[in-house]
Amino acid sequence: MREKFGREVVLEKPKDRSFGHFATPIAFSLAKELRKSPMAIAEELASSFDDNEIFTSVESVKGYLNFRLSENFLSEYATWALDNTTQFAKQDRDEKILLEFVSANPTGPLHIGHARGAVYGDTLLRLGRHLGYDITAEYYVNDAGNQIDLLGLSIQLEGRSSVLGEDVQYPESYYRGEYLAELVSGAVEKFGKGILSDESRQKELALWAKDKVMQIIVKDLGDTNIFFDTFVNESSLYDDWNRVLGKMGEGVYEKDSKVWIASESKGDDHDRVVVREDGRPTYLAGDIVYHNQKFERGYDHYINIWGADHHGYIPRVNAAVEFLGYDSKKLEVLLSQMVSLLKDGAPYKMSKRAGNVILMSDIVEEIGSDALRFIFASKKSDTALEFDLAEFKKQDSSNPIFYIQYAHARIKTIIGKSDLSEKEILEASLKGLGENADSLLFDALLLPEIVEDAFISRQVQKLPDYLKSLAASLHKFYYDCRIIGTEDEAKLLKLLMVVALSLKTGLGLMGIEAKDRMSKEDE
C-alpha cells in the first residue's frame, strides 16, 4: 500500500466483515490536496486495482476504499507461513535503537512497580527485534549518591541490632526488609563482624552490597525471562563530567556558587543545578553524562522507559541533549505507571522481605512468570493498573492467559487425533473454506500487522488483546464446526495450524512459551 500511494496508509478492520477485510479513509486525506470529493477519489483509486491478484475486490463506499483479500492470496500466504514459521511476522528494518529500561536502584529487590516497566520494556524489545530492528537492551545502574550510602548505613544498623545485639536508634530514612539480614550474613562472612560497627568502612560495605543486590535483581529478571545486553554504572561516568560540562557551552552558567543548566529556555519549568556549591555534581549531572555517552555511541534512536514519577525529568534531559549538540527528537521517553495489587478483592499485603513494597519475586512465585508478564503487558503502560491475583490463578476462561494457552493446546490435541499425516495437511488448499473458516484464517494471518502496530505505537497491549480475540474465535469455531472425519478435515486442520502458529508466535513475543497440553482432557 505504501508503495502504491507513495505515503503511509491507515488500514482499518470493518466491524461488518461483509464490507471486506480492510478499509482505508485515504481518499478523505487526499481530498484537499487533489481538490476533489473523497467519493470521486475513492472511485478512481478503486479502479486502479483492476486485475490485482491480491484482492478479490476493491470497492468505493461513501469515500472509503474497501478491500477483500482473495482466497488464493490467503491460502498461499498461510502455506508460506507454515513453511517458514521462524520468519512469520518478521521484517528487516535498518535502524539501531538503544532501549534503556528498569534501571532500578541497586538498593533492594525489584518491586511490582519495577516489574511493570521491565515487562513493558522487554515486550517492546522482542517486538522490535522481530521486526528486524537492531536493539540493545541496557540497564543503567544508579550506584552513586546518597541511596548507596544509605544502603551501607542500613546494613550496619541491621547488623548492629541482629548480630551485635545493640539497641539501635533508627533514623527516619533507611532501608528495611529481610533481604538486609541476608546481606548482613554475607558481609560478616566476607569481612568479619567488625565492619558492622566501623563507620569508616560504610562505603566499602555499600559498594559490596550493591553488587550483591544487582545479583538478586538480575536473577529476578531472569526468572521472568528478561535479560540485558549491557549494564552501565553511574559511578563510572563522573570522571567524564568536566569534558561533558564543557560540551554544553552556553547551555550552562554559574550563579550563587553553583553551576546551572539553562533548561528553562528549552521548555523546562526553571533552570536546574548541575553542580552544587561544594563542587559535587548533582543527580542530573549523572543523567547528562550518561545521555552524552549514549549519543556518542551512535544509535539512530534512543528509548528510555521511566517510572511515571520521573515525568518532570523529561524536559531537563531533553534540554541537556540539545545543549550537547544532539537532536532531542531521537530521544523518546516512555512512562510506566505504578500497580495496585489485590488478592481476593483485598489489598495485597506488603512483603516482609522487602519491608514496605510488594516484591516482583513474590508475585512470580504465586502466579508464575507467564501470568505476571501477560498482566503487565495487557494495559497501556502510562495508565494505572489494578489486578487481582485470584483471577490469574483460575484454570478457566476468566483467566486470559489460561484461555489463550488452552486454545493452543486444544489445536494440538485435535491435530493429534487425526489419522492424516502432516504432509497431507500441509498440502491441502485453503480455498473454499466457507465464511466462518475464512474469517478465522484472516484473523490468524493478521499477526504481522498487530506486531508492527504494537511496536510503532509503543502500545504493546495490542498484542495480548489480539491473542485473546484470536483464542475466542478459535474456541467458537471449534464448537461450531466439526473437523475430524469430515471431507474437509485436511484443510480445516491446516487452518488450525495457522491459528496455532499465530498464538505461539504472539506468546513468544510476550516472553511466554505456548503450551501443547493443559490437562488430560483438552477437549
C-alpha–C-alpha distance, residues 381 and 333, integer Å: 12
The rounded percent of the chain whose pLDDT value lies above 90 is 72
Instruction: Kindly indicate the confidence band of residue 6, based on its pLDDT and cuts at 50, 70 and 90.
Output: low
Say which residues have a Cβ less than 8 Å from residue 82's Cβ, sequence separation at least 6: 426, 494, 497, 498, 501
C-alpha pair distances (Å), 89 with each of 127, 179, 341, 448, 452: 10, 43, 34, 4, 8
pTM above 0.85, yes or no: yes
Residue 36 per-residue DSSP state: S
Give the model confidence (pLDDT) of 380-426 as tens digits: 999 999 888 888 888 888 899 999 999 999 999 999 999 999 999 99
Confidence class of residue 51 from pLDDT cuts 50, 70 and 90?
low
How much is the pLDDT for 351? 58
**Among candidate residues 96, 385, 105, 122, the one with its CA nearest the CA of residue 233:** 105
C-alpha to C-alpha distance for 488 and 476, rounded to whole angstroms: 18
Mean pLDDT of all residues in 331-336: 97
Q: How far apart are CA 363 and CA 117, in angstroms?
A: 15
Backbone angles phi, psi at 258, to 5 degrees: -125, 160
Rounded to whole angstroms, how far apart are CA atoms 199 and 190? Answer: 17
Q: Which residues pair with 60 in a beta bridge?
A: 65
Q: pLDDT value at position 152?
A: 95
**Please, are residues 430 and 494 in contact by the beta-carbon 8 Å criterion?**
yes
Grid cell 487481582 in the structure block, residue: 388
Which has more pLDDT, 118 or 53? 118
**CATH classification number, 2-69, choose in 3.30.1360.70, 3.30.70.360, 3.30.479.30, 3.40.1620.10:** 3.30.1360.70
In tens, the pLDDT along 69-116 reads 778 888 999 999 999 999 999 999 999 999 999 999 999 999 999 999
Grid coordinates of 204: 566499602
DSSP H helical segments within 195-280, as ranges? 202-223, 241-247
For residue 117, pLDDT over 50 is answered with yes
Per residue in 155-186, pLDDT (tens digit) is: 999 999 999 999 988 888 889 888 999 999 99
Cα angle for residues 181, 183, 186 (degrees, 5° grid): 110
Is residue 300 within 8 A of residue 96, CB to CB? The reply is yes
Domain ranges in the chain are 2-69, 78-92+394-508, 146-209
* Higher-confidence position of 371 and 522: 371
- Provide the pLDDT for residue 314: 96
* Cα–Cα distance measured from residue 360 to residue 313, given in angstroms and rounded to the nearest whole number: 25
Homologous superfamily assigned to 78-92+394-508: Isoleucyl-tRNA Synthetase; Domain 1 (1.10.730.10)
**Radius of gyration of the chain from its Cα atoms, rounded to whole angstroms:** 28
What is the number of alpha carbons within 13 Å of residue 191 lying toward its C-beta? 22
